[in-house]
Structure 1
Amino acid sequence: MLLTVARIGRAHGLRGEVALDVRTDAPDERFVVGARFVTEPASAGPLEVVRVRTAQGRWYVTFAQAADRTAVEALRGVDLLVDTDEDEDDEDGWYQHELVGLRVEHVADGRVLGEVVGLEHLPAHDLLVVREPDGARTLVPFVEAIVPVVDVPGGRVVLDPPGGLLAADAEHLVVSDETRGDAVEG
């Protein structure tokens, strides 16, 4: 199976260098001179890395097939793919195809909160895209404090969401008379 490890971003300079939107936990292993990538769309590749550098946390590469700014500008938005058969298993890392379709359960009582329908990549951390039973799509920070259990073989993820994160939480709030202000002494 082919998985995205980066998306090609803006051209950088005039000599064919391009910024990458990295989607892998091991960019220093993926983006090396001589690495070849299948692309999506397929017509843009394959692409071979001839130069790599990092600056201020960003990855920049030059491809043999795109030697100038005009050529790399045409590659903007192209995904770089690798074959997962070459990857080793990572017990604390999951691919989007492994997460999509998993049942989402609440840590406290096991009630079903929805289904994972996607994964968004952000610089700070990834976000699970959860479709709740009412159809609402909620972005859940994919961090251990909020997603303590990912059980791919069991077909589920368990959430410990902060109050108000999910629409389903509003249905389970119990409001006492004292918190509503109904009890007035006087």
Structure 2
Amino acid sequence: MCVGQIVGVHGVRGLVKLKSFTEDPAAIAGYNPLMDPTGTRSFTVELQSAMKDYWLARVQGVSDRTAAEALRGVLLHVDRDRLPPTEDEEEFYHADLIGLSVERPDGSGIGTVIALHNFGGGDMLEVNLPERRTVMVPFTKALVPVVDVAGGRIVADLTDDLLAPPDAAEQAREKAAEAAAERAGSAADGEAE
């Protein structure tokens, strides 16, 4: 699970700017060693001082700006089993939601959670529907009243318009535009002869 990211460098002695994604930002150092997304490189971080949105940190083995620059953008991960259990029944790790089936209150299937996003207005579940398209579902108690991680499911009370395929009028406009483009291409070919 991703617990942080190296977002920049500070100075010439190898300090990095470390953004922590843990509930207590200082807790990230307690998960040492941290891994890159592939699990092939490990990093031991020592927090130096808290800044507004990040920590200044020393990474073991990194002693100059060039080495620190090479780490810019690296996401830092830990194995899921190293994280503490959630304390509240309505508290979840994002990674625990990925792969859960989504069903209506009557038990009929809707799809599968493939991602959780937050674009600034609150958490959104990205749900893959059987017809190979996705919908974004606001992750609110009103729309998602049941999250059963142990049971592998989410109950979502969604309206039909949220799940409906793209607007038929929009599809007709797209087809008309494609046909017009084909006619224009054919006319241009005819003039060229």
Tell me which interval the TM-score lies in, with the shorter structure as reference length.
0.5 to 0.7
Matched, 1:65 2:61: yes
Deviations 1:126-159 (A, max 9, x none): 4322101221112323333332211112221122
Distance apart, 1:53 and its partner CA: 0.9
Deviations 1:94-141 (A, max 9, x none): 33443222111234x443221112233556544322101221112323
Once the two structures are superposed, the pairs formed by residues 37-186 of structure 1 within 5 Å of their partners are 37-55=34-52, 58-62=53-57, 63-90=59-86, 91-107=89-105, 109-120=106-117, 122=119, 125-161=122-158, 164-167=161-164
Instruction: Return the match for 2:6 from 8, 16, 24.
Output: 8
Higher helix share: 2
Deviations 1:40-95 (A, max 9, x none): 3445432322414130xx22232343344433321123221223333331133333
Is the Cα contact below 8 Å between 2:113 and 2:126 reproduced in 1? yes
Match in the other structure for 1:178: none
Task: State, as a whole percentage, how many aligned pairs show the same letter.
Answer: 34
Distance apart, 1:13 and its partner CA: 5.5
Is the Cα contact below 8 Å between 1:163 and 1:169 reproduced in 2? no
Distance apart, 1:24 and its partner CA: 3.0
Q: Structure 1 residues 168 and 133, CA, compared in 2 at 3 Å: closer, same or farther?
A: farther
Q: TM-score, normalised by structure 2?
A: 0.65
Is the Cα contact below 8 Å between 2:10 and 2:56 reproduced in 1? no
Distance, in Å, in 2 between the alignment partners of 1:145 and 1:160 is: 8
Match in the other structure for 1:26: 24
Structure of higher CA gyration radius: 2
Gap runs ≥5 in structure 2: 168-193
Aligned length: 164
Match in the other structure for 2:171: none
Is the Cα contact below 8 Å between 1:11 and 1:73 reproduced in 2? yes
Gap runs ≥5 in structure 1: 171-186
Distance, in Å, in 2 between the alignment partners of 1:106 and 1:81 is: 34
TM-align CA RMSD: 3.3
Distance, in Å, in 1 between the alignment partners of 2:121 and 2:62 is: 30
